[in-house]
């Protein structure tokens, strides 16, 4: 097969789970598939981060539309999908798009489309009318055009079928997994990493998420307030991730509730630091209102960190019986679960054990093998 991977959206530290997915899938494809020819479309600024010169069947095409010569990127892409002699070896037979929609310049190609989630269908109140309508149009058209659609969870697969009337035979759930760097960490290494952030092992609750509205930081803050006022708890809530549109409202709530001394925003953390941040936490607090998968839940479990998670969307499917599941709209329930987990050593040990077993069920190798199976199926359709 000659496969095109569209990664023009790649901006390290910005795309969150989508970046993790792309990096892990690339690594597995390099290891598993030496027969197919891959072309990876990337922004020009990602040359150092994605260097395939040592991989004979992987080629990079860097497109820079901000160089002051906008036609340059379009011309390069035009040659790629309608190749002349110099681009002959890159002539793709099937394309894979990660971000939920197909770019117009690739519409002529047979496509496997990855749809991470359909949040706008489930929580339209978090989108402007313009953003909602644009998502409806681009996602809907792309899903109809795709030869096959991959999703991260059965929840998203069912959403596609029920809300967009998509053909069930053309949709496959391909779960994500934790990177191998996530495992119970050596205590000394954990302490060294945490020291750089001014943290002590076991002294904080961890919430890794950009401050989007749907991540529901406000409920975590209200639970922290309940723990303080009812139980005299002085837990720190440590948040990693970038500042997004909910940040001003979150900061107002912190000030109004007198929580400034109990909340820390680390911003974007290097990926190599994340295992220690999970391992050093008393527990993961993840009261998200919506997830297409919920990668932090699996990363925490793989790191030996017990989990308090929402009981909505894809999260029960991912967590199984290895987490305390709560109503994300009920701060009392969140606070109660955290209190149980921090006070009951037996419960904590049981959740850590079950979490490690649960995380081991998810594999990037299996994800890549299933993705390759789908690509081969669509490749066969293209040749028929």
Q: What is the pLDDT of residues 194-212, one digit of tens each?
A: 999 999 999 999 999 999 9
Query: To the nearest whole percent, how much of the chain has pLDDT over 90?
Result: 79
User: At 288, is the pLDDT very low, low, confident or very high (cuts 50, 70, 90)?
Assistant: very high
Query: To the nearest whole percent, how much of the chain has pLDDT over 70?
Result: 91
Mean pLDDT of 263-287: 95
pLDDT at 75: 59
- Evaluate whether 2-177+364-383 and 187-359 have a shared fold: yes
The residues with which 110 forms a beta bridge, in sequence order, are 94
Mean pLDDT of 111-133: 93
Cβ(308)–Cβ(216) below 8 Å: no
Residues 6+ apart with CB under 8 A from 66: none
pLDDT tens profile 299-320: 999 999 999 999 999 999 999 9
- CATH number for the region 2-177+364-383 comes to 3.40.50.2000
CATH 3.40.50.2000, applies to 187-359: yes
Residue with tokens 């096959």: 148
Mean pLDDT of 112-118: 95
The CA-based diameter of the chain, rounded to the nearest angstrom, is 73
Mean pLDDT of 218-234: 95
Distance CA 38, CA 220 (A): 43
Mean pLDDT of 368-376: 97
Mean pLDDT of 148-167: 95
User: At 85, is the pLDDT very low, low, confident or very high (cuts 50, 70, 90)?
Assistant: very low
Q: How far is CA 360 from the centre of its chain?
A: 18
All structural domains of the chain with their residue ranges = 2-177+364-383, 187-359
Q: Indicate if the pLDDT at residue 48 is higher than 90.
A: no
Six-digit token pair at 299?
A: 């990363």
End-to-end CA separation in angstroms for the chain: 14
- pTM for the model: 0.90
**What does pLDDT average to over the chain?**
90
Six-digit token pair at 139?
A: 């996602």
User: At 65, is the pLDDT very low, low, confident or very high (cuts 50, 70, 90)?
Assistant: low
């Amino acid at each position: 097969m000659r496969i095109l991977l569209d990664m023009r959206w790649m901006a390290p530290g910005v795309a969150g789970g989508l970046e993790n997915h792309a990096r892990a899938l690339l690594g597995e494809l390099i290891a598993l598939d030496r027969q197919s020819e891959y072309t990876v479309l990337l922004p020009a600024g990602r040359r150092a981060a994605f260097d395939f010169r040592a991989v004979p069947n992987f080629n990079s095409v860097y497109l820079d539309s901000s160089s002051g010569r906008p036609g340059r990127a379009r011309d390069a892409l035009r040659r790629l999908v309608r190749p002349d002699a110099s681009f002959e070896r890159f002539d793709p037979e099937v394309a894979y798009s990660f971000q939920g929609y197909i770019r117009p310049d690739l519409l002529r190609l047979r496509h496997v489309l990855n749809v991470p989630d359909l949040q706008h269908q489930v929580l339209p109140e978090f989108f402007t009318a313009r953003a909602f309508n644009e998502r409806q149009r681009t996602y809907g058209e792309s899903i109809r055009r795709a030869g096959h659609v991959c999703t991260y969870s059965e929840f998203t697969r069912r959403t596609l079928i029920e809300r967009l009337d998509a053909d069930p035979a053309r949709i496959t759930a391909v779960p994500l997994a934790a990177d191998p760097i996530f495992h119970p960490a050596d205590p000394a290494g954990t302490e060294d990493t945490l020291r750089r952030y001014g943290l002590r092992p076991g002294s904080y609750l961890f919430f890794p998420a950009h401050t989007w509205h749907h991540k529901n930081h406000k409920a975590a803050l209200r639970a922290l307030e309940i723990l303080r006022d009812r139980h005299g708890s002085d837990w720190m809530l440590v948040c990693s991730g970038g500042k997004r549109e909910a940040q001003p409202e979150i900061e107002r709530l912190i000030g109004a509730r007198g929580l400034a001394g109990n909340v820390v925003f680390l911003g974007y953390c290097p990926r190599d630091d994340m295992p220690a941040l999970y391992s050093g936490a008393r527990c993961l607090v993840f009261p998200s209102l919506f997830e297409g998968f919920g990668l932090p839940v699996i990363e925490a479990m793989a790191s030996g960190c017990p989990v308090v998670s929402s009981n909505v969307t894809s999260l029960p499917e991912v967590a199984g019986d290895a987490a305390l599941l709560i109503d994300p709209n009920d701060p009392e329930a969140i606070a109660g679960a955290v209190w149980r987990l921090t006070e009951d050593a037996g419960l904590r040990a049981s959740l850590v054990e079950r979490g490690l077993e649960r995380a081991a069920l998810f594999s990037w190798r299996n994800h890549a093998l299933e993705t390759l199976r789908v690509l081969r199926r669509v490749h066969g359709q293209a040749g028929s």
